[in-house]
Amino acid sequence: MEADEQSSGEHGACAAADGRPGDGSRAELDLAQFLPYRLNRLADRISDELERMYAERYGINVAQWRVLAWLSHSDELTAKKICTYTNMDKARVSRAIQALEDRGLIYREPSAHDQRVHDLHLTAAGEELLASLVPDAQAWEAELVATLSVGEYRDLFNAMGKLERQLERIGQR
């Protein structure tokens, strides 16, 4: 303990005016142990694998999949709501919607509440595509999480929920 105190005291005494250690060393961050990096890397890898599957089997990308997934369980959905729900930017959502509409998987109609916006809806072809795609996506997810026990899977979702709530609290400061 004394050595730790002495070490941290020495480090503090050598700190430069800008807060960096004054001994010429750099502050280091082990990204392998940095949660934001690890989560982002995992999310990117998962997204890349899913996109490969979506492209090979269904000719769609992740952005298009997200639009379809939200449309699969929401009656009144606009491009703006999709941006909010998916955290994708307006341009990416707009391109996804246009591509899906061009393929006849969705259609737009003026909103009954606001004529400036359009509600998005699945077509019969969109419903049919989802009838195949959703079970494939669920099977892929099941294969991914097969390495986790039921308790670990539950704990993972609980931990993610706690982190999401904490982010909301941090963001409100």
What digits encode the pLDDT tens for the residues 10-62?
A: 444 444 455 555 666 888 999 999 999 999 999 999 999 999 999 999 999 99
pLDDT tens for 99-157 read: 999 999 999 999 888 888 899 999 999 999 999 999 999 999 999 999 999 999 999 99
Domain regions of the chain by residue span: 1-33, 34-171
**pTM for the whole structure:** 0.74
CB 122 within 8 A of CB 71: yes
Architecture of domain 34-171: Orthogonal Bundle (1.10)
How far are the Cα atoms of 57, 69, 118, 124, 143 from residue 100, in angstroms, in the given order? 15, 12, 15, 13, 28
Q: If DSSP codes are grouped into helix, strand and coil, which group holds residue 67?
A: helix
Number of helical H runs and strand E runs in the chain: 7, 2
| Ordered alpha helix ranges (H), 15-89 | 35-58, 62-71, 79-86
Q: DSSP code of 103?
A: T
Q: How far apart are CA 141 and CA 165, in angstroms?
A: 24
